[in-house]
Amino acid sequence: MKLRILQSILGLLLVLSFSCKKVTDLSPNDALTNLTAFSTPPLCLASLYGIYATAQNVVDNGNAPGAFGSLNIEYADVRGEDVISTAAFLQDPYQNTQNASSTIPYGYWNALYRLINQANLSIAGFQYAQSNNILDKATATQYIAEATLWRAIAHHELVLNYARPYLDGSGSNLGVPYRNFPIQTLADLNRVAQMPRNTVAEDYSDMLSDVTGTIDNLPAVPDNNTRLSQAVALAFRMRLNLHVGNYLSVVDDGNTLVPSTVNPLDWNSVVCPIGGWAMDNTADGPFANNNSLESMFSIRNTQQNNPGTNAALAAFYGSGSLGGRGLVAISPIIWNDINNWSSYDSRRSLLTTTGTNGSGGNNYFTTKYRDYGGYGDYAPQYRYPEIILMLAEATVRTTQQVNQRGVDLLNLVRNRNLTNPATQQYTIDSFPNGYTQLLARILYERRVEFLCEGKRWADISRLSKDPVSAVALPGVPEKYVNGFGDLSAYVLGGSTIPTQPQAPLAYSAFNYIWPIPIQEIVNNPIIQQNPGY
């Protein structure tokens, strides 16, 4: 069994080595299991690009999307209530009907650990290249930092989907195996076979250690927004600390990325001190232009290299009337809620449309992904508004006050979408019920600003055990049934209660988190299955 697994891994590594050529047009690596892949500076760079290629799109028994070219966005959205899965394609994660043999949890687990192993192989190769004077120290250190950050990002995605949140028992529940070494040989496989699941706390400790070690070694200004940078590492650490509940650390990092004084009526004037990132003038700016300054980090898709019709963002989120497949629609739950998403908010007109869904019905859809013919939309991972809203949230949590800093940061993101920001923006008096009312409003602004960008599941997960009862969630909220498509349900100011509901899923339910794929447990019996599967 172990020999067959090793042969499979080595075969995959050969495939991945040739994928570097597709991305960079350099000579193919012989194999990442020997050091010829790191024998020249161009080959080292090709190996680095190979990590990004694995995150985006890889070949494995046919065309299999990487975890971050689209899947992390799509899966995180359909696990929440703000979108509707309109057909059978994403029915399992939408309805929480997955089992240990289901395709999606199996494929996603493999895609993430494939990326982790690619990162670990490259780290070892870059260390070799530096020690043999193939790469200078500065270049090798940066490459290692990029690979290490990818390793942490991929592990976090695993923890979010296959483990309970940190705030449940301070991370005492089972997490995932944290693999920080390359798998190349039978001895490596034997080492893997001796690795039980970490606790969630151990995983967060390892992730925080990895990301903290990368920050000073990453570029402040990357070559482009499809490469990792210092600001992205700090933003990722902010995400981790939000999940851990270390809000003071979130504030510290946020204040590094956001000026101490901001003018909410002049959102273009607020520039990130590291990297020069800034909000676009309008909400559709970062989607009309893949290289917008607002887009701190995205996965590059092109018309020649993308997740394809079975995963591409424009295919899944795009209305059938515009050339998409209409598989993921906006839900009336959020569309109708004008108390939290104003009827005059420009994001409604700039970033949504009506059209046919994947089952022949009609819904509202996002237009954030609009290359319906070529699927060249970048997959957004970090936009500057997220940093602003994370800082706003953490500021309010730590002070437990309705303070001007928190209100200004919230307004900074919201104001660019208002017809008259000077009169329509929030003030301290807008929150007479105290800081929890402001906190709830910041969290809802995240739902609106990042609708259809894959942020909802992470928030549901961390809020399920939130100590602030005003924002805590008891599990996955009620949503519309799979396949729903009826435009008459979309009424501004209308009901936010589904007319055809799928029951909420309690946090205590076994299927609140995904199963460890059965094949992983067969291959590594030391891995313990999540209870109930």
Residue matched to tokens 């602030």: 468
pLDDT at position 188, please?
93
Task: List the structure tokens of 325.
Answer: 């497949």
The separation between CA 10 and the C-alpha centre of its own chain, rounded to angstroms, equals 28
**Average pLDDT over every residue of 31-56:** 89
pTM for the model: 0.94
- HEC letters along 147-191: HHHHHHHHHHHHHHHHCCCCCCCCCCCECCCCCCCCCCCHHHHHH
Q: For the range 464-471, what are the long-range contacts, defined as Cβ-Cβ under 8 Å and sequence gap of 24 or more? A: 464/165, 464/167, 464/168, 464/507, 464/512, 465/165, 465/167, 465/168, 465/507, 466/167, 467/167, 467/245, 468/397, 468/436, 468/439, 470/436, 470/437, 470/439, 470/440, 471/436, 471/439, 471/440, 471/443
SS3 329: strand
In the predicted structure, residue 7 carries a pLDDT above the cut 80: no
- HEC letters along 51-104: HHHHHHEEECCCEEECHHHHHHHHHHHHCCCCEEECCCCCHHHHHCCCCCCCHH
Q: What share of the chain is helix, strand, coil (3-state, %, to 5)?
A: 50, 10, 40
Task: List the structure tokens of 57.
Answer: 């799109």
CB 291 within 8 A of CB 224: yes
Percent of the chain with pLDDT over 70: 92
CB 327 within 8 A of CB 366: no
Task: List the structure tokens of 20.
Answer: 């570097």
Residue 494 class from Cβ within 10 Å (0-12 exposed, 13-18 middle, 19+ buried)? middle
- What is the distance between the alpha carbons of residues 146 and 343, in angstroms, rounded to a whole number? 42
Q: Report pLDDT digits (tens) over 437-474.
A: 999 999 999 999 999 999 999 999 999 999 999 999 99
**Average pLDDT over every residue of 197-226:** 97
Task: List the structure tokens of 317.
Answer: 């989120």
373 CB neighbour count, 10 Å cutoff? 10
Helix axes 41-56, 137-162, angle to 10 degrees: 20
pLDDT at position 17, please?
38
**Average pLDDT over every residue of 349-367:** 97
Average pLDDT of the chain to the nearest whole number = 93
SS3 495: coil
CA angle 203, 472, 407 (to 5 degrees): 100
pLDDT at position 64, please?
65
**Average pLDDT over every residue of 287-309:** 96
pLDDT at position 58, please?
59
CA angle 44, 45, 49 (to 5 degrees): 120
CB 256 within 8 A of CB 323: no
State residue 161 phi and psi, 5-degree precision: -100, -30
Q: For 528, which DSSP code?
A: P
